[in-house]
Amino acid sequence: MSDKILTAEEVEALITRGPFHQWLGLRVKKVEADAIELTATWREEWVVNPDRRYTHGGILAALVDLTADWALVSRTGRGVPTVDMRVDYHRPAMPGDLTARGKVVKFGGQFSVAEASVFDAEGKLLASGRGVYLTAPPKA
């Protein structure tokens, strides 16, 4: 990968090629060396408990995973496969758009580690996690 960091618009175009990411309503707000910030547009389909109206943990886990993954984009220029991941849930996510911030912890030739946190509109931490990603160059 060259030293040129892709713009938020360029990364958003890459991310939103995937139908699931389109469904999540992803928007890339900022891309820096080894870091990314994005938002996800809240959807009624995220509700797991209609009485309490909180968001399914799988949505939060997906945001942790994809944000940590795409934090690596300044080094890889692409999304990369997840090898392993863990997520901690800190509080229920009530209806509303979510912000996720990710950063590279360690970049390696074969495997890399990145982490991400998901916040509500008030800036409260909802979930956080860390993943291992396969960052080896793709085989030709």
Rounded mean pLDDT, 49-76: 96
pLDDT (mean) for 21-43: 97
Tell me what pLDDT residue 92 has. Answer: 97
Average of pLDDT values for 81-94? 97
Cβ(112)–Cβ(74) below 8 Å: no
As a whole number of angstroms, the distance between CA 43 and CA 53 comes to 11
Q: Mean pLDDT over all residues of the chain?
A: 95
pLDDT at res. 13: 97
What local confidence, expressed as pLDDT, does residue 3 receive?
Answer: 62
List, in sequence order, every residue forming a beta bridge with 116; answer none if it has no partner: 102, 129
pLDDT digits (tens, 9 = 90+) for 91-124: 999 999 999 999 999 999 999 999 999 999 999 9
**Amino acid 9: pLDDT:** 96
In degrees, rounded to 5, the angle at the alpha carbon of residue 66 between the alpha carbons of residues 44 and 126 is: 55
Answer whether 127's CB lies under 8 Å from 116's CB: no
Domains, in order of start, for the chain:
8-134 (3.10.129.10)
Residues 6+ positions from 72 with CB-CB distance below 8 Å: 34, 80, 104, 107, 112, 114, 133, 135
- Estimate to the nearest angstrom the gap between the alpha carbon of 137 and the chain centroid: 21
Band of residue 14 on the pLDDT scale cut at 50, 70, 90: very high
